[in-house]
């Protein structure tokens, strides 16, 4: 029986950004195909789209694109596995993912001697969707129902795992803005000391979860007017088709700027025809923020 085993050595955002390619692949192949996933992240993140985690990929090389084993093909879903494509498009964005998965589809078609794998020209079809039926919904709905605010701002102020942005929790920007805007809820993913009633935390709204609350944070983002982050973790899970296609949404992404490019290329939004307002803010030094970096962060938050 033909089997495809996906594997990825890296972080949770990688699983999220690849998921629609896998879902569309599965809908294109015959029903007798089996699928598994090897990764080092919570199982729910792939089981949410009906691919079971069966182990970790630690015995496989993180750069090798494919392993062939009889009726089984191992497929590396890491966005950096094809370095030529990665560099061609300037890093992590939909153009990189699209070209990498085009090559994966071709490999699968040749290996299993099957055709008919769908590759849509409209790359927006590969923007992630999430099955929110698997999330803890009750507390989120209760918060939305009882929230008296005119606006909700979700701020993913976590520490990035791959140097996408700066590490600080942004409290020096959030506290004065929250004080000046008491009618707005500033909902943060990482806690910091303060005594303002309109600074809230995703952990307190969602409640305890077994392994990760990324899917719940994404669900909560559906009800927020503004989504702020560092192109990492919770922020990436908020980058969904429904949020991107909502003209009432505003995204702010603080990104480490690659000096080779005039613009920021490493966002899922890069080059796509989306309806939300998407603001990228360059961070020149993600280790020690420059005065310009600090001013750009503050001005971006004030602007919305």
Give the model confidence (pLDDT) of 226-244 as tens digits: 999 998 889 999 999 999 9
> Is pLDDT of 258 > 80?
no
Q: What mean pLDDT is predicted for residues 173-199?
A: 95
Residue 266 pLDDT grade (very low, low, confident, very high; cuts 50, 70, 90): confident
The confidence score (pLDDT) of residue 106 equals 96
Cα–Cα distance, 84 to 99 (Å, whole number): 11
The confidence score (pLDDT) of residue 149 equals 65
> Is pLDDT of 304 > 90?
no
> Is pLDDT of 190 > 90?
yes
Residue 207 pLDDT grade (very low, low, confident, very high; cuts 50, 70, 90): very high
Q: What mean pLDDT is predicted for residues 167-196?
A: 94
> Is pLDDT of 262 > 80?
no
Which residue from 223, 205, 24, 250 is spatially nearest to 129, judged by alpha carbons?
A: 24
Name the one residue in this structure whose structure tokens are 């090798």.
Answer: 64
The better pLDDT of the pair 17, 233 is held by 17
The confidence score (pLDDT) of residue 256 equals 85
In CATH terms, the fold of domain 132-303 is: Rossmann fold (3.40.50)
Residue 147 pLDDT grade (very low, low, confident, very high; cuts 50, 70, 90): confident
Residues of the chain with CATH 3.40.50: 132-303
């Amino acid at each position: 029986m033909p089997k495809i085993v996906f594997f990825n050595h890296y972080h949770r955002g990688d699983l999220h950004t690849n998921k629609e390619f896998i879902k569309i692949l599965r809908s294109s192949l015959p029903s007798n195909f089996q699928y598994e996933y090897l990764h080092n992240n919570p199982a729910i993140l792939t089981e949410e789209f009906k691919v079971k985690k069966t182990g970790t990929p630690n015995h496989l090389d993180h750069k090798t694109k494919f392993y062939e084993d009889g009726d089984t093909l191992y497929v590396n879903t890491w966005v950096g596995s094809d370095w030529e494509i990665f560099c061609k498009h300037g890093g992590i964005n939909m153009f990189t993912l699209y070209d990498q998965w085009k090559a994966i589809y071709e490999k699968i078609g040749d290996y299993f001697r099957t055709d008919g794998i769908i590759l849509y020209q409209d790359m927006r079809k590969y923007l992630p969707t999430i099955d929110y039926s698997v999330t803890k919904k009750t507390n989120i709905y209760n918060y939305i129902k009882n929230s008296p605010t005119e606006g909700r701002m979700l701020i993913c102020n976590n520490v990035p795992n791959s140097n996408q942005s700066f590490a600080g929790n942004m409290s020096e920007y959030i506290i004065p803005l929250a004080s000046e805007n008491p009618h707005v809820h500033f909902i943060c993913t990482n806690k910091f000391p303060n005594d303002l009633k309109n600074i809230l935390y995703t952990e307190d709204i969602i409640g305890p979860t077994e392994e990760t609350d990324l899917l719940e944070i994404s669900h909560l983002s559906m009800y927020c007017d503004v989504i702020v982050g560092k192109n990492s973790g919770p922020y990436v899970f908020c980058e969904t088709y429904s949020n991107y296609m909502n003209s009432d949404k505003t995204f702010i992404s603080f990104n480490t700027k690659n000096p080779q490019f005039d613009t920021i290329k490493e966002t899922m939004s890069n080059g796509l025809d989306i309806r939300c307002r998407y603001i990228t803010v360059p961070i020149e030094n993600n280790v020690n923020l420059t005065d310009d970096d600090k001013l750009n962060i503050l001005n971006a938050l004030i602007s919305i």
